Chains A and B, each alone.
Chain A
Amino acid sequence: MLGFKKNVFSYKKLFIAILFLFFLVIIFALSTGRYFISFSDTIKILFSNILPIEKTWDDTAEGVIYNLRFPRLLGAILIGSAFAISGAGYQAVFKNPLVSPDLLGVSSGATVGAALVIILGGGKMTIQFGAFLGGVLAVILATTIPRLLKNNTMMVLVLSGIIVSGLMSSIIGVIKFLADPEDQLAAIVYWQMGSLAKIHMSDIYGISPIIVFTSLILLAIRWRVNILTLGDKEAKLLGVNVSFLRIIIIFCATLLTASAVSVSGTIGWLGLIIPHLARLLVGPDNTKVFPVAIMLGAIFLIVVDTLARILTPAELPLTILTGLIGAPFYFWLLARQRVRL
């Protein structure tokens, strides 16, 4: 019983530490950039909405924070947490910690959608819609194949994901081949590497209802998700409706990834390593993994996006940074766990 108390306590302590870190990176992200604002001014500007604080900063600082950096910050929080929790959901459904939310083709489908709209000359909103639709359709296709084959095993579902992803990458190849190399090809390649540079408050309004709603569903069922990882047979014999639960998780995770990707373009690594890191910190129990993954995903993307803004004069695409940070980090994780996945 002593151990029980100790365990809960340390989880709470850890979560408070993560919240504190979250607050710190928010201040850091809002302050840093080509126009530097002191941390104390940033904190004052943020709290001046709710507290009567004497104005000691100039209007430019307030404008930079609210008009330029705030939408990006919100975008990083929403998108980072969306990738992280959908990754955690996928890793539970497929009983495999090596799985990322791309497994059933959502990212490659979204890329096809976005690329198609780009070569047809569509605007930003249409590209977002095309990406969202492409991602969702790819997953629908991947989940239909097992039904066509009348074989509902996980293995067939994974193979369907590979089939769909492979097909989508070929279509992307064709689109790239047809695209105008001057601007369209560049736009597609840039989209595939992910960026929050062009994000606007209207994008946030567009995706936040879906991301918040589906995240809440996943959070609500997170204890039940544990039971899925025991395997279908054992879960069924515990009275759990396995296929229903699996559909809900895949549905939510797909909407999450598709919404995130539609705004930011594809961002690699996040959905794979953040759930891993969460499990390293709190163990495999998803009642703890899901909330921690959400927070860590947000923190990670805030940091990466801020680095993308400040490291070089021209903005770096996000996947370059997530890869440069993520790959060595993943190596470190595996070394720590001695490849005991």
Chain B
Amino acid sequence: MRKKYWLWVLLVGLAIGGLLVAGCAAKGPQTVKVGVILPLTGSEAMFGAMEKNSFLMAYEELKAAGKTNIKGKEIELLFEDDQGKQDVAKAAAEKLVNQDKVVMLSGGYTSSCTKVIAGSAQSMGIPFLIVTGSADDITKSGWQWVFRGTAAPASKYTGALWDMMEKVIKPQRVALIFENTDFGTSSAKAFRKACEDRGIKLVFDQAYEHGALDFKPMLANMKQTNPDVVFAVSYVMDAAMIVKQMKELDLNTNLVIGGGAGYTMPEFRQNAGDASEYVASVSLWVPNVAWPGAKEYFEKYKQKYGSEPDYHGAQAYATMYIIADVLNRAQDLTPEGIRKALKETNLTTIMGPIKFEDWEGFTNQSRPTTYVVQWLKGKLEVVWPENVASAKYVFPVPKWKERG
């Protein structure tokens, strides 16, 4: 009896398996499959969803323009969830390549997952185009199958800022505050080194616990050191609390610069109110940057999904455009053919020009364009580099008491 039971299970299992394989095989030849691995659940899900939406929005636009049809075959996007976990990311990459037979991979949100996917892609010989993962070593490993276009290496985030520091800000006494997380401490480390290299004096350097109610003790301490520029790495609500309390303490500096993240988000403006005025930040993208299509993307996304996208969404949107461009140019749709086409990319996207080059030890890394942005009259304006600026920077900023 028991044996028979197992036989049945086996038979049914085989039948279902066979059907699935047959189904996949039958579907296979008509589409060009592209695997996209994003964190669709878990703590990073909010950003994963934003990137997926942006991918789909770009896909629809490309489809309407007839660019998703490659020699009679439609591009098909296969999304896989990595849950923000490395092991799941690896399994997802292998599944997409071995079972779904995708011609290339994309996605990658957290640096840790991106690195795992990149490693798998490299060993399987499948091109991988990174969306967000930005740790330096991913494109410093000499992996010729791994391409990073829309994301800047983490150490190059502040490129535009240092350019502006040298030409405009010329800081003498810098204060550095950062949240004591991986992101905060690594950003602080890079900033500290950059100051050392330029001989700029760090007069205050302190970490804080994310989510604190009262930053005044730290800020009062900072006030005593009399800094002329403050560089702060914070998540959005801490950022709002910090600038509000700077106002309360009447802590005046020539400029407060945020290290990306919190200081560029719409929630920062909403929560900090007037205190957010004149705060600057480094950024990879803002809706009113001068690249064609950026503003339209922002408006369309807002209308379609009811929320404002940030640079993560823009990265995904631009990446989809790169994928379509590459597949259209590829001589043949083999991994090698696509890799060649990727290498020859020269495309201007909403994230700026994309060109995969080898430089400063990076492989297949597009040269990032970073910006300095500043809140002016309640709007986030690009102020540096000057050739793409949407407004003239204000420096030094007026003192709290002189503001109307």
Indicate whether A and B interact.
no
